[in-house]
Chains A and B, each alone.
Chain A
Amino acid sequence: MTQSFSKIKRKFMVLILLFALFGLAFIASIVFGQTPVSFQEALSSFTNYNEESTEHIIIQTDRLPRAIIGTVIGASLAIAGALMQALTKNPLASPSIFGINHGAIFFVVVGVVFFSISSLIHLTGLAFLGAAVAAFIVYFLGSLGRNGLTPIKIVLAGAAISALFQSYTQAMLVLNETGLQDVLFWLAGSISGRTLDMLVPVLPFIGIAMMVAMFMGKAINLMTTGDDIAKGMGQNVVLVKGLMGILVVLLAGSSVAVVGSVGFIGLVIPHIARFFAGNDYRWVIPFSALLGAVLLIAADVLARILIMPQEVPLGVMTALVGGPFFVYLARRGVSKL
């Protein structure tokens, strides 16, 4: 593929701009909150940490982990969404619409309630399993019928699967009321109070999946031209699609395991990324990663300061942003892409 030099230059510019935006969001996430901290103070908490200073403790034990988790999860959800939209050739595909969030939550809650599993690594495994089961069912149901994988079928199947898993989760929580309060906030999705310890077990999965996704851009570009063409060009389409599916499950499953049900990031971000990058997935994926991190961190900062001293659950914030976007996409017509 030959691209004119200026086009590539423009994309590099966008990339740099996004990095800058991400830096700003990251700093905002460390500085803003119930206890406002000045930038100098924040900086000095890294350079010479003072155990006596409340600000330093807040930054190092609460704000920094939050910002890091927000970055990682935002990026993985956005990449998962981009992969799903490419895989299904469907602008409405994303982890939450596919029912992946509720599938993963259901499996995790089963693990906690029935098998008293508490080790994070096992719960993460369960989250992967739930994500995979939900994604497979929705993909299967969505692709039945004469017209193949249509947006409306995917959305409806995803809604039904979500409702199904949600109802079973609710039943279990009603039967075992202990800890409902904790789980409730988690069901609504939140990164408050999450420590880096929770991120560590999933980090290898996320890291590997992201790396692979970054290098798959060219293969995805070829795949989106259509199965026949891709096969003709010597691509092993089944392998590429299968790999993408695995990446989606790893990225989305890990995200749910860490922050709970945070929707719409995977839906919205790839559209913005494509606005900058066109349909070239070598660029769409890195752009999505950065934009996803920015959006999640920004939503988290807003969630913190909107109704101080309380916090809005993160999942609520993203739904309030993403819901209208979904409606906009549905209104514009989903047959495109």
Chain B
Amino acid sequence: MKKSVTFRNKKNTVSFQLETKTMLMLGLLVFFVLLACITGPSLGNKLISPLEVVKTIVGQGTGGNEFIVMQSRLPRTLVSLLVGAALGISGLILQGIVRNPLAAPDIIGVTGGASVFAVAFLTYLAGSVSIGWMPAAAITGALIVSVFIYTMAWKNGVTPIRLVLIGIGISAIMSALTTFMIVVSSAVTASQAYLWLTGSIYGASWEDVYTMSVLVLILTPLALIFSRSLNSQQLGDEVALGVGVRVQKDRFILLGISVVLAGAAVAAVGAIGFVGLIAPHIARTLVGRTFGSLAAASALTGGLLLFMADLTARTIFYPIDIPAGVFTAGVGAPFFLYLLFKNRNQF
């Protein structure tokens, strides 16, 4: 088998090369995602045979099973896959920009900003404005806070370490603000808001599926286009400038993509930690370090990670629905410590 396949149009204006191994890996991941779409709806308190799930999805379902699959389990599965994908790409881009394997939207405070705005929206506007605007609120929050973090970290340029440290500080402020609003508001009861903050996919609806899929489908190709620039940026700003990359402009757009994806994820399911951190690392061991294939692999791995976390969370202690965020943190935090140990000489 050839090691790679090259595509080139006749005029040589477009050309790209795909490695066979990478393509196989991505194919495998896609296969697992499809598998998830069937196993997700079929597993639960009431087992539904995979065949019946497939039948229901293509529109030939019957009775109670159809309701369970179409109204509850399928949207939930899809939302977990989409949110995981969004977080995976978001984390990958951040790690690429700050050239630091420990960066992720939840660690540097982006998720915190989105949470503050989402809770503010729920508390102060939910009565008068349609809930459909909540993603917009969360994304706005994520954008504002990340611009703020970036400005605060700017001092003759932004060093990764300062960005992460300041992000952790801002995270603390944001979580204080969120707690404050929850305690003060009577609109959301404390335990509800607590669940939401931990990140739970419990109430996933088709609305969430549509919002998330639109965003993921628009922003992923955009991320792929800019992945070339990200590749060059890994060599350092000077080299990237030397090979003709508009470093600052591209970095700004990439950061925007990452932040919007993270904000949308928060709006859909609350603050789910560590998926954005882990997914890119798993993806890197699967497909190597080229950002194009890495973006696709991160999205798929992120989706699968969150899907498995949510599946475990909703089945293992049935009928109690544990927030998926508890699982991702329980697995993710030790992984983070492992990364810290591995990179111990860098800091």
Contact = CB atoms under 8 A, between A and B. Distances in A.
Contacts of B175: 319
Contacts of B326: 167-168, 170-171, 174
B35 interface: no
B173 A171 contact: no
A188 B176 CA distance: 8
B180 to A, nearest CB: 5
Nearest to A145: B344
Given A144-B341, A145-B345, A160-B340, A175 B180 contact: no
Given A144-B344, A157-B340, A180-B190, A323 B170 contact: yes
B325 A141 contact: no
B180 A316 contact: yes
Contact of A175 (B172, B322, B330, B345): B322
Contacts of A152: 161, 164-165, 347
B341 A326 contact: no
A177 B164 contact: no
Given A153-B344, A167-B330, A331-B162, A141 B190 contact: no
Interface string A147-185: 100111101110111011011101101110100110011
Interface string B268-300: 000001100000000000000000000000000
A324 interface: yes
The DSSP consensus for interface residues of chain B is helix
A319 B336 contact: no
A330 B165 contact: yes
B194 interface: yes
A170 B327 CA distance: 10
Given A152-B164, A323-B173, A330-B165, A188 B183 contact: yes
B308 to A, nearest CB: 16
Nearest to B337: A160
Contacts of A156: 102, 164, 168, 336, 340, 347
Nearest to B190: A184
A263 interface: yes
A307 to B, nearest CB: 6
Contacts of A239: none
A319 B176 contact: yes
A53 B19 CA distance: 83
Contacts of A157: 337, 340
Contacts of A316: 176-177, 179-180, 183
Contacts of A334: 165
A129 B195 CA distance: 28
A174 B320 contact: yes
B249 interface: no
A52 B172 CA distance: 45
A9 interface: no
Given A153-B340, A330-B166, A263 B183 contact: no
Contacts of A322: 172
Nearest to A92: B165
A147 B161 CA distance: 15
Interface of B: 102, 107, 152-153, 155, 161-162, 164-166, 168-170, 172-173, 175-177, 179-180, 183-184, 190-191, 194-195, 198, 273-274, 317, 320, 322-323, 325-327, 329-330, 332-334, 336-337, 340-341, 344-345, 347
7 contacts: A144-B344, A180-B190, A188-B183, A319-B172, A323-B170, A326-B168, A327-B173
Given A164-B329, A326-B169, 20 more contacts: A145-B345, A152-B347, A160-B333, A161-B333, A161-B337, A163-B332, A167-B198, A167-B273, A167-B326, A167-B330, A171-B326, A174-B195, A185-B183, A188-B183, A263-B172, A312-B183, A313-B183, A315-B176, A323-B176, A330-B162
**9 pairs of A and B residues whose beta carbons are closest in the complex:** A145-B344, A167-B329, A323-B173, A319-B176, A164-B333, A330-B165, A326-B169, A327-B169, A160-B336
